Amino acid sequence: MNLEKLVERVEQWSIDKGLDKAESSKQYLKVGEESGEVAAALARNDKDALRDGIGDVVVTLIILAQQNGMTLEECLQQAYDEIKGRTGQMVDGVFVKSEDLIKN
């Protein structure tokens, strides 16, 4: 199944459960909870749990966007538009954007 159809199904599931009208701050707590599961999967080198955790984070973000009259696509597009021309470098395995690099 393609990403667009999966997002539509998550949005419909959210509507069916009444989550689309729930309080966004509560939904953001779910984002954090699921992010913690991603961290635990990484710590345990558990690929199946990592896949599930990443999927759960995306589901919670789809619903958070929906609750605020946004779509995953428009949020992702805005983020990509910000980063597409970004410069920087890898520092200890982490990409650091140019403006955040410490100048010596």
Does position 104 have pLDDT exceeding 80, yes or no?
Answer: no
Total residue length of the chain = 104
> Which residues lie closer than 8 Å to 47 by C-beta, 6 or more apart?
41
| Confidence at 102, pLDDT banded by 50, 70, 90 | confident
- CATH architecture of the domain 3-100 equals Orthogonal Bundle (1.10)
- C-alpha count within 13 angstroms, C-beta hemisphere, residue 69: 0
Domain boundaries, the chain: 3-100
Q: What is the pLDDT of residues 18-27, one digit of tens each?
A: 999 999 999 9
Task: Find out whether 20 and 11 touch, Cβ atoms under 8 Å.
Answer: yes
